[in-house]
């Protein structure tokens, strides 16, 4: 008796081979994607083995984790400093005795730093501050904010003054912003 090959077993073997080939191809794509996300120390023409690529990726991820932890520690230490010393202006913003908003303008040569402190319900002040700066010809370089104590928002705006005499431009901007804030506090 001759044994005839079972058609279902050869089909099953082919299916397994196809599945394994697809799995390997998918892994190659994923390795390639991971490798593209990692900055490399060696030249791009040099071929790196797969285990070395994975080791490099793991090392890079660990460095990112350490860096992230250091940044979190720095952030927490800065928050601790803010809480222990009050705030930027050494008065009790958000403690009920102080009116919102507050503004300080610091001249640094042809540059200005505008610090605006508001409550969460006074966010329109940021837009108005930007509008005033634009009207006075200042070029906004950077603007950022931080929320402190869940009810205080610190806005910091860095800008360049476009006039020939930066000190008179700074004085005019400062006067106008402070007047605007005082009017808001009065109402």
Q: What confidence score (pLDDT) does residue 6 get?
A: 65
Q: Where does the chain hold its CATH 4.10.280 domain(s)? A: 7-83
Residue 167 C-alpha from the chain's centroid: 32
CATH 4.10.280 is right for the domain spanning 7-83: yes
Residue 42 pLDDT grade (very low, low, confident, very high; cuts 50, 70, 90): low
> For position 1, what pLDDT does the model report?
52
How many CA atoms does the CB half-sphere of 13 hold within 13 Å? 6
Instruction: Give the pLDDT score at 89.
Output: 41
pLDDT for the residue 18: 94
pLDDT score, position 27: 92
Higher pLDDT, 74 or 43: 74
**Maximum distance among all alpha carbons in the chain?**
109
Alpha helix (H) residue ranges in the chain: 7-37, 50-85, 124-135, 166-186
- Which two tokens mark 25? 């191809």
Question: Is the pLDDT reported for residue 173 higher than 70?
Answer: yes
Residues 6 or more apart from 79 whose CB is under 8 A from it?
148
Confidence of residue 52 (pLDDT cuts 50, 70, 90): confident
Over residues 17-25, the mean pLDDT reads: 95
Q: In the chain, where does the domain assigned CATH 3.30.70.260 lie?
A: 102-186
Does pTM top 0.75 for this prediction? no
Split at pLDDT 50, 70, 90, the class of 167 is: low
Q: What is the Cα–Cα distance from 96 to 149, expressed in whole angstroms?
A: 13
Q: What mean pLDDT is predicted for residues 160-167? A: 63
The more confident residue out of 53 and 123 is 53
Question: What's the pLDDT band for 22 if we cut at 50, 70, 90?
Answer: very high
Topology (CATH) of 102-186: Alpha-Beta Plaits (3.30.70)
Please check the confidence at residue 66 and state whether its pLDDT lies above 60. yes
Cis omega (within 30 of 0) for bond into 101: yes
How sure is the predictor about 120, in pLDDT bands with cuts at 50, 70 and 90? confident
The pLDDT, as a whole number, for residue 26 is 95
- Mean pLDDT over each residue of the chain, to the nearest integer: 78
Instruction: Kindly tell me the sign of the dihedral angle through the C-alpha atoms of 50, 52, 54, 56.
Output: negative
Residues 6+ apart with CB under 8 A from 94: 119, 149, 151, 152
Q: What are phi and psi of 168, to 5 degrees?
A: -70, -35
């Amino acid at each position: 008796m001759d044994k005839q090959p079972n058609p279902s077993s050869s089909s099953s073997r082919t299916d397994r081979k196809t599945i394994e080939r697809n799995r390997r191809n998918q892994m190659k794509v994923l390795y390639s994607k991971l490798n593209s996300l990692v900055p490399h120390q060696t030249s791009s023409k040099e071929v790196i083995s797969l285990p070395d690529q994975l080791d490099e990726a793991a090392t890079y991820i660990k460095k990112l984790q350490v860096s992230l932890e250091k940044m979190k520690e720095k952030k927490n230490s800065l928050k601790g400093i803010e809480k222990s010393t009050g705030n930027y202006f050494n008065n009790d913003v958000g403690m009920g005795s102080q009116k919102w908003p507050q503004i300080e303008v610091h001249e640094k040569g042809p540059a200005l730093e505008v610090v605006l402190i508001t409550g969460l319900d006074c966010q329109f002040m940021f837009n108005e501050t930007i509008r005033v700066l634009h009207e006075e010809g200042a070029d906004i370089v950077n603007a950022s904010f931080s929320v402190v104590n869940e009810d205080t928002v610190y806005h910091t705006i860095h800008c360049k003054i476009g006039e020939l005499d930066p000190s008179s431009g700074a004085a005019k901007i400062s006067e106008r912003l402070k007047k605007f804030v005082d009017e808001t506090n009065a109402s």
